[in-house]
């Protein structure tokens, strides 16, 4: 936490699509956050496909930036789309790059997950896979509330604004809980 008690959250969206419902959900989370939280959104669009031969020569600049952002953040907020019953390759690739030694930056980080998908389950399967990666990387995922925005195409307007009041309520609660979780987990670190 900063000297002023502000909680620094890094948002990471697993979709690069211009009209991404998950980026729209991340924007909604920023708008619905309580006072005392500052959210920065990582740009993972320039991260190359993971290649150990490349990493052996040093991290690419985009990966170094992401690793620094993760290290500096008090908490992480993942916006997790679902492709083919799992998290996106874009998100998994960013996590794979950032998690390489030395100094794996995810360890000990409180995190939360939101997700929007066209199907009824609202990215539940992808979020489950992401949670498994979080456990392996020693992150501390927030359990409740779950934010699963199903049939996303009916929950956002043409400008990408979240219109579903129930989803807004879940996101608002998640952001408040993430603030408390970051303070609780941060005391242990």
**pLDDT tens-digit readout, 19-43:** 999 999 999 999 999 999 999 999 9
Residue 186: which pLDDT band, with cuts at 50, 70 and 90? confident
Asked if residue 90 lies in contact with residue 48, where contact means CB atoms within 8 angstroms, the answer is no
- pLDDT of res. 107: 97
Q: What is the dihedral of CA 22, 138, 93, 183, to 10 degrees?
A: 40
For 48, the 3-state DSSP assignment is coil
Rounded to an integer, what distance in angstroms lies between the CA atom of residue 39 and that of residue 186? 17
Sketch the domain layout of the chain as residue ranges: 7-188
Pairing of strands 7-13, 37-41: parallel
pTM of the model: 0.96
Tens digits of residue pLDDT in 161-178: 999 999 999 999 999 999
The predicted pLDDT at position 4 comes to 64
Is 7-188 assigned to CATH 3.30.300.30? no
């Amino acid at each position: 936490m900063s000297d002023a008690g502000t909680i620094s959250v890094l948002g990471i969206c697993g979709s690069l699509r211009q009209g991404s419902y998950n980026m729209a959900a991340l924007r909604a989370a920023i708008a619905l956050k309580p006072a005392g939280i500052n959210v920065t959104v990582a740009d993972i669009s320039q991260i190359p496909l993971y290649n150990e031969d490349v990493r052996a020569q040093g991290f690419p600049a985009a990966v170094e930036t992401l690793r620094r952002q993760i290290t500096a953040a008090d908490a992480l907020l993942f916006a997790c789309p679902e492709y083919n019953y799992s998290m996106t390759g874009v998100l998994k690739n960013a996590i794979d790059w950032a998690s390489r030694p030395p100094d794996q930056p995810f360890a000990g980080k409180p995190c939360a997950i939101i997700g929007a998908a066209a199907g009824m389950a609202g990215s539940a399967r992808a979020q489950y896979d992401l949670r498994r990666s979080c456990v392996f990387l020693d992150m501390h995922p927030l359990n409740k509330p779950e934010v699963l925005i199903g049939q996303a195409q009916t929950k956002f307007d043409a400008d990408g604004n979240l219109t579903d009041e129930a989803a807004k309520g879940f996101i608002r609660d998640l952001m408040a809980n993430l603030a408390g979780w970051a303070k609780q987990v941060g005391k242990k670190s």
